[in-house]
Amino acid sequence: MEELTRVDPNEDPYLALRTALAVAICVILAEPLGVSQPMMPIVFAMSMMSNQRGALNVASFAGPIAMPVLAFVFSWIAAATVNEPMLFIVINVAMAAAGIALMLFKGSRGGIVLTVFPAMMSMSALFSDMALAAIRDSMAAGGVILGVAMIVLNIVFPPQTSRVHVPVAKPLDTTSPRAELLIRLAVYVPVLLATFATGDMNLLIVPIMLAFICAEPDRGGRMDQLVDRGGGTLIGAFVAIIAMAIYHVVPQFPVLAALITLITYWLIDKMTTGRARPLFYQYVCSVALVMLVSATFGARDAFEVVIQRVVLTSGAMVGAIAMLSLLEAIFIPSRPEALQAA
């Protein structure tokens, strides 16, 4: 997997401001543009803008451009195969295997596209045609909004460097690539299929978290993911609870938009100035935004949103780490000791 490196505040002093304003734009334009799932453009805006981390280049627009394309491609695949169970399962497993392999052996976050997006669209197709269309259209609209916002915000608040950020990749170097991949699929695929069987969109977070754990090449990377994403879930839940309490006192849309913007600015700024790894703060922000938007824009109870996210994320990650360690000890006993202890 690629790792987020810390940004030098002298090179990009406006990283947090650009990210917060992009999120604010997505929040404000969601209703006028008919975005029925505002959580998607909001979270994607936070993630992609905070990942820029240096001078703007052509590759920076890959995400906003790809979002509408991927939304229509994967939604079409899901809609075309959802009534053919065997084909539906085979295609989803094949894309998951390709995605995890990309992340594991190439260290590419591009594998997330093949792992998370198809699962999201397939789960929506199982739920209803309307849900699939809502997520597809929300992703497409989010990509357009984010692309325009990225251009404008980089002109108004440009990075103070010409250096283009190069992600740090950690691919797995092994003499048993097939066994390594099969072990990870043995953990990931049953959970993915079980999630499909429930038809519950709220459970999709489980295979998503498992994908990040399975994509790590060693135990050290998995524990980092547990700390950053598992710990980030707990802190993000706490931040969301405080924000929801404030919104409960003053339930007005401008207050909600201001809370989302301030949370984003504070946590993305911590990616530059905080002591923890940048991914930790980014994930805290992601969790806080998802919980806050789900509880306020959706019909679910706020307490249910928080508790379910914390329990599912923590349980899934701990269980996946334990299963991977057990399977590796059984089927790959010759793995170098240094890698097993990493």
Rounded mean pLDDT, 34-60: 82
For the ranges 16-20, 108-112, 333-337, the one whose mean pLDDT is highest:
16-20
Residue 334: pLDDT over 90: no
CA 127 – CA 136 distance, rounded (Å): 14
CA 222 – CA 16 distance, rounded (Å): 27
DSSP state of 2: E
Residue 342's pLDDT is what? 47
Residue 337: pLDDT over 60: no
Torsion angle (degrees, nearest 10) of CA 196, 202, 204, 209:
-150
Q: Where are the domains of the chain?
A: 2-341
CA 219 – CA 248 distance, rounded (Å): 42
Looking at per-residue pLDDT, the higher value among 332 and 78 belongs to 78
Residue 165: pLDDT over 80: no
The size of the chain, in residues, is 342
Residue 18's pLDDT is what? 94
Beta-bridge mates of residue 169: 2
Q: What is the pTM of this model?
A: 0.86
Looking at per-residue pLDDT, the higher value among 268 and 34 belongs to 268
Residue 171's pLDDT is what? 81
Residue 299's pLDDT is what? 59
Pair 318, 216: CB distance under 8 Å: no
Residue 184: pLDDT over 70: yes
Residue 166: pLDDT over 50: yes
**Average pLDDT across the chain, whole number:** 86
CA 3 – CA 285 distance, rounded (Å): 17
Rounded mean pLDDT, 167-178: 79
Beta-bridge mates of residue 261: none
Residue 78's pLDDT is what? 94
CA 63 – CA 139 distance, rounded (Å): 11
Rounded mean pLDDT, 286-294: 89
Residue 341: pLDDT over 70: no
Residue 2: pLDDT over 80: no
Looking at per-residue pLDDT, the higher value among 107 and 81 belongs to 81
Neighbours of 332 (CB within 10 A): 16
